[in-house]
Amino acid sequence: MMTHEEAFKRAKAIVDKMTVEEAASQLRYDAPAVERLGVPAYNYWNEALHGVARAGTATVFPQAIGLGATFDTELENTIGKVIAEEGRAKYNAQSRHGDRDIYKGLTFWSPNINIFRDPRWGRGQETFGEDPYLTSRMGVAFVRGLQGDGEHLKAAACAKHFAVHSGPEELRHEFDAVVSEKDLRETYLPAFEALVKEADVEAFMGAYNRTNGEPCCGHHRLMVEILRDEWKYKGQFVSDCWAIRDFHEAHHVTDTAPESAALALHNGCDVNCGNTYLHMLTAYQEGLVTEDEIRLAATRALMTRVRLGVLDGTSEFDDIPYSACDSDEHAAVSLQAARECMVLLKNDGILPLDPDKLTSVAVMGPNANSQIALEGNYSGTSSRYVTPLEGIREALKGKARVYYSEGSHLYRNRMSNLSQPKDRLAEAAALAEECDVSILCLGLDSTIEGEQGDTGNEFSSGDKKTLDLPESQRLLLKTVLNAGKPVIVLMLAGSAMSIDEGNAILQCWYPGQAGGTAIADILFGKAAPCGKLPVTFYRSVDDLPDFCDYAMKNRTYRYYEGEALYPFGFGLSYTDFEYSGASYADGKVTVTVKNAGGMAAKAVTQVYVKDLESPFAVRNTKLCAFRKDLLQPGEEKQITLPLSADAFACWDDKGVKAVRSSRFILYVADHQCDERSVALSGSNGQAICVNL
């Protein structure tokens, strides 16, 4: 692949021919054409978090938090490849028609590799979860798939939001996230470093907030000392949208727009999503920035376009046809991802259901027939949506009667504005009494949880105030449970909710275009659930530290001091996996895993390390390896899991990483080996004592 050095040299030759005014114009996200030099217009703003977004019809995959729940890096790499293929197909077609507007380029501002440290954060759904190791593995796989391994980048990925960014949404433009050196290095930076060193990610995006006093899009320590100097990052840096304006309007670290532009440019922000860089020439005229700084940023911006091969139309991807979008092949990948992302949290034996033994089924709840609940935020538009109701109805065609009731609104009665709507509860009660089983489709959607300013988001600017279901849904759940018949709860949400009622609970996330088909496949035993929780499910917000406190104490499975409702890494199956013969040697764990049940299923083998000596180790355990294997009934397989270089290391209070202990325990199982995981699953894993 063309290196950054080669592309930089070619881009510099072009920028050297520009006037300073032309060079400054290339620092906008909507860079205008420089026709005399043959440089076409280009808009850097595009999104592809879980499919090409906001750009017409495209394959819609499960939301990122669901993809994190797959614990499947190979699948995530394939999804990246699909997105790049569809992105190229759209770019080729749109460019031929002269459309170079927003959401039409090949610079995708994905993935979001922030750490989902608090379940109240509305944008946590965009992340791969709460664990730095899982996030780094999924992020690296996605970036490698998206960018490809050809002579040119197939598409350009962007690691965001750098760094220490996870709410609150309503304060993000003015908030200062204060963190210790230990937490910075141990939790908030590892995934970003991995994407630089292992995936050669093309772009970085800064966050809105400040971190330890400096705004993240003009942060000397993060952007210069760590990203450029320490990690040797060569790519492009882009601001979050209108974040540089916050320097003078909200953070008050500057007084004017030219000063804000200068602060960002000084620290290496090359492209401005927003309009503050329209003041760059004023900053230049006032002596706040130099011509060399402007030209360096313009060169790094154009360098990405050179690596994509879009300046002269010479890439090997220029002939990908529009028919590559929304294909049957890509739809099959989305269905696979939907099946693999769903986490079975509870099952008293009712699942899987036998369609031949059912006469009637009630499908109820505000998310039963909701398209938006399939999508999550930053979504594309599919031509193939299948809601839970549609998937269940198709699966039971010719076998059982399917009844439907909305049961309640998502969070309130939008018609009457009542806080406790009861207009559909009688219908729900009647159906629950009539049918063999009720399938309740509850949860949230992006009108409740998401990014500040998106859709409605009237609950704390997209963040959640509670882990409970909205009151309207709690009334529905109580009504259906009171019927005394079996109840299966499907939770469509992008974050942890506190619910334990029902005979079975399936966490579906926002499962993408094929969500309804995948749900039916799992409910009726066509596929075994194999998702694992990428976040801790707590019992109440009362168990959490203050939302604004960015210290990791008592947060996530690595530091939590209580007992989780459902632990990180947990997820039931329709079969039992047995682990035996675990050993450690030469940086690798070897173990035999057996499918001891009667159904083919995928085992997610997880390795956790417990440091027995160092006072700087995480309080509990930390994930250090995982892999996913399909096993037939009765099949056993010996597998090997290489441990990461950091498996036995820990960070001290100064943020220095080292192996400080000689005694460790490695736990190997399809879940954490904490008491709660063992109690819920009924199975133990293997423990290995390691002396270094």
Q: What is the DSSP letter of 228?
A: I
DSSP assignment of 24-80 equals HHTTBSEEPPBGGGTB--EE--BB-BTBSBSSSB---PPPHHHHHHTT-HHHHHHHH
Instruction: Compute CA distances 663 → 449, 612, 625, 642, whole Å.
Output: 43, 6, 18, 19
Contact 545/554 with Cβ under 8 angstroms? yes
Chain position carrying tokens 């141990």: 186
Q: Which residues of 503-526 are buried (b: 16+ CB within 10 A; e: fewer)?
A: bbbbbbbbbbbbbbbbbbbbbbee
DSSP assignment of 380-449 equals -B-S----HHHHHHHHTTTTSEEEEE--S-SSS-TTT--SS--TTHHHHHHHHHHSSEEEEEEE--TTTS
Q: Which two tokens stand for residue 688?
A: 């290995």
Q: Which two tokens stand for residue 657?
A: 């990483």
Q: Which two tokens stand for residue 276?
A: 């503050």
Contact 61/511 with Cβ under 8 angstroms? no
Which residues are within 8 A (CB) of 415 and not within 5 positions of it... i.e. 6 or more apart?
none
Contact 574/525 with Cβ under 8 angstroms? yes
Cα–Cα dist 550/165, whole Å: 9
Q: Which two tokens stand for residue 36?
A: 């005399």
Q: What is the DSSP letter of 169?
A: G
What are the residues facing 53 on neighbouring strands? 47
DSSP assignment of 367-378 equals TTT-SHHHH-SS
Cα–Cα dist 440/362, whole Å: 8
Beta-strand (E) ranges in 466-519? 487-492, 504-507
Instruction: Compute CA distances 114 → 131, 152, 228, 497, whole Å.
Output: 10, 28, 19, 20
- Is 255 one of the catalytic residues? no
Answer positive or negative: Cα dihedral of 610, 119, 465, 481. negative
Which residues are within 8 A (CB) of 226 and not within 5 positions of it... i.e. 6 or more apart?
189
Element (H, E) at 95: helix 73-96
State the catalytic residue, choosing from 131, 240, 463, 521: 240
- SS3 at position 689: strand
Q: What is the DSSP letter of 487?
A: E
Cα–Cα dist 374/652, whole Å: 42
Q: Which residues of 145-179 are buried (b: 16+ CB within 10 A; e: fewer)?
A: bbbbeeebbbbbbbbbbbbbbbbbbebbbebbbeb
Cα–Cα dist 62/360, whole Å: 29
Before 486, cis peptide (omega within 30)?
no
Cα–Cα dist 653/651, whole Å: 7
Contact 117/109 with Cβ under 8 angstroms? no
Return the half-sphere exposure (C-beta side, CA atoms, 13 A cut-off) of residue 269: 35
Strands 343-347 and 504-507, by their bridges, are antiparallel
Torsion angle of alpha carbons 550, 553, 558, 561, nearest 10°? -140
Question: CA angle, corner 26, sides to 23 and 32, nearest 5?
Answer: 115
Cα–Cα dist 192/112, whole Å: 10
Kindly list the catalytic residues. 240
